Structure 1
Amino acid sequence: MADNTTEILVGNSFLDTTFFGAITYGNLLAAVIILVATYVIAKVISVVVMRVLAGKVEINNSTFLAKLVRWGTYFVGIVAASPFLHIDFSGLMVAGGIVAIAIGFASQNTLSNFVAGVLLMFERPVGIGDNISVNGIEGYVEDIGLLSTTIRTYEGIYVRIPNASMFSSDITNYVAHIARRFDYNIGIRYTDDADKAIKVIKEVIEKHPYALKNPGPSVYVDELGNNSINLKVRIWCPSGFWWDVRTDMLWKLFQALRKAGIDIPFPQLTLWYGEDAPKPAKVAKGTGFSAQEVLGKSEASPENAIKVIK
């Protein structure tokens, strides 16, 4: 009895029964399982691709790429199931390989741009709407296609960059980080109080709604120049408002310093005649130098001046 059972399960089982030609029910079941699994895997992969690229590339490009991945998975599944159905794709594969090589040689640039476009979509160094600089071109990313990327410059000019060039170039993304810093170099007169100027600048920064507190601003004396005390001002703000904050803050700082009696000096040259240096005089408001210094006069006696001239 045991021998008969083994013979039924192994030698004459249902799965070994011929279904069509040399195809058995076991072959048919294996092929069906592979094809169903391929269909499920292809659907899952296409959904993942759509979610990964959502909001980063246009919907048409992400849909096309998802379909390409899905049909590629279908092809792999059919090739995997073909031996169970006794289908020989060897001749077709050879012919397809020859055609693919011919097409590859004829369209090397197109294929390289396509591959680079796919890699850019997955690596995501830039996204639509980002403010970037690449190959000396600055502007906003308008479209990331499978073959090229379109940038709208600040002047409103549209520039198309092949993805192969885009992928191999240094890309500067100005908004990839949530915060961005800008610097000012502000000069004040030597007769002004630098500590007071720093306090005034910090108060203006603290009142601005887009000036970040973490990382916070930095204001300090950076250099003692020929004509001024140079202050360094460093401010962080959200990357999306960088330009607006930078232009708005500069004028507010100037107005606040002027209101506090702190002015920005101009390059000046002081000349005097005579044997002795001029005595300190009352500072003229708004210049940082006395009226005598501005006019090139000294308090030396006329006789000394005439003696020097002779």
Structure 2
Amino acid sequence: MSELVQTINSSLLRLVAQAVEFLPSFILAIAILIITRYAVRPIRAITQTATDKVVKSPSLRSLILQIAYVTTWIAGILLACVIAFPDLGLGDIIGLLGLGSVAIGFAFQDIFKNFLAGVLLLLNEPFRLNDQIVVNDYEGTVEQINIRSIEIRTYQGERVVIPNATVFTSSIRVLTDRPYRRTDLAIGLDYNTPLPRAVQVLLMALTDVEGVLSNPSAEVDVVSFGDSSIDFVVRYWTLPQKLHVRQTQTRVMMALKEACDQANFSIPYPIRSVYLFDQQFNDSVPTASSTTPN
């Protein structure tokens, strides 16, 4: 019995000694993680200052900042692991990461897919920050381009977070890629309207409208003979942002209506002709004849 007690005591003493020996390394590892947490901000600030002077693209600057953030944390965690476990060298850690890469790849394939798509989006720059885009059923202003997702703000004020893989594999309409954008506005006039004068009046109505650009110049096309009107399309250019397009369209519609009223041009309602048919006067309908038996 005494030998068992001595064995237990020796084991406990050995565990306490190992714990005391391990405690400074453990405390130092925790300190390194805390230092890493507070070191991220100045490193990001220094990186941002350097990239602002060298890199012109906002998207590429965002990518470099995010890479600096992730790299700082990886370096801090690896250093903490090496200090906390002295027998575990850096080569052993890299070997363990290599052995677990297959399992991690299967478990986090969506995360890696979004990460790679985010890096490609930031490098290729199909759109930039503050661009207005359409992705699938979502339309709005790009607020953030992260490594995992992008964030857009819809015109109704809603925030939409879309995974980078979805954005990378979808068709994207970039509405603000150019400094101007065209709007096609349809209008129909009465068949008695003289066409050359109508084109001139509609063009003149656009000259004083706020928001309509003079270069490229506006156009008016006669496009079709409708059921109750001759159809025109007024094509004009504005700034590409949705706010300018929407407000300018309202002013253009008001100006066109006023110009048509002053020129005595009629914008007709849809007209449908109805013909009444009296079957009593239709000779083509055979009459029934009756026969009497002999």
TM-based fold match above 0.5: yes
The yes-or-no answer on 1:251 pairing with 2:254 is yes
- Distance (Å, rounded) in 2 between the aligned partners of 1:56 and 1:249: 36
- Distance (Å, rounded) in 2 between the aligned partners of 1:105 and 1:272: 72
Q: Deviations over 1:46-81 (max 9, x none)?
A: 94598547534896x6522245579999xxxxxxxx
- Distance (Å, rounded) in 1 between the aligned partners of 2:56 and 2:146: 12
The yes-or-no answer on 1:128 pairing with 2:129 is yes
Residue 242 of structure 1 aligns to a residue in which SS?
Answer: helix
Change beyond 3 A, Cα 1:68–1:52: farther
Change beyond 3 A, Cα 1:129–1:168: same
Unmatched 5+ stretches in structure 2: 1-45, 76-88, 283-294
Verify the 8 A CA contact 1:54 1:62 in the aligned structure 2.
no
Verify the 8 A CA contact 2:52 2:61 in the aligned structure 1.
no
Q: Displacement, 1:133?
A: 1.0
Partner of 1:184: 185
Q: What is the aligned-residue identity percentage?
A: 31
Change beyond 3 A, Cα 1:47–1:111: farther
- Distance (Å, rounded) in 1 between the aligned partners of 2:100 and 2:52: 28
Change beyond 3 A, Cα 1:151–1:71: closer
Unmatched 5+ stretches in structure 1: 1-42, 74-87, 274-307
Change beyond 3 A, Cα 1:62–1:53: farther
How is 1:158-237 mapped onto 2 (pairs within 5 angstroms)?
Answer: 158-237=159-238
Change beyond 3 A, Cα 1:255–1:51: farther
- 2:65 aligned partner, one-letter code: T
Change beyond 3 A, Cα 1:71–1:225: same
- Distance (Å, rounded) in 2 between the aligned partners of 1:114 and 1:242: 35
Partner of 1:65: 67
What is the CA RMSD across the aligned residues, in angstroms?
A: 3.5
With 159-168 and 200-209 compared, the bigger mean Cα shift is at 200-209
Residue 207 of structure 2 aligns to a residue in which SS?
Answer: helix
Verify the 8 A CA contact 1:58 1:143 in the aligned structure 2.
no
The yes-or-no answer on 1:55 pairing with 2:65 is no
Higher relative contact order (CA 8 A, sep 6+): 2
TM-score, scaled relative to structure 1? 0.60
Verify the 8 A CA contact 2:60 2:123 in the aligned structure 1.
no
Residue 191 of structure 1 aligns to a residue in which SS?
Answer: coil
Residue 139 of structure 2 aligns to a residue in which SS?
Answer: strand
Q: Deviations over 1:247-297 (max 9, x none)?
A: 221121111111211120112245799xxxxxxxxxxxxxxxxxxxxxxxx
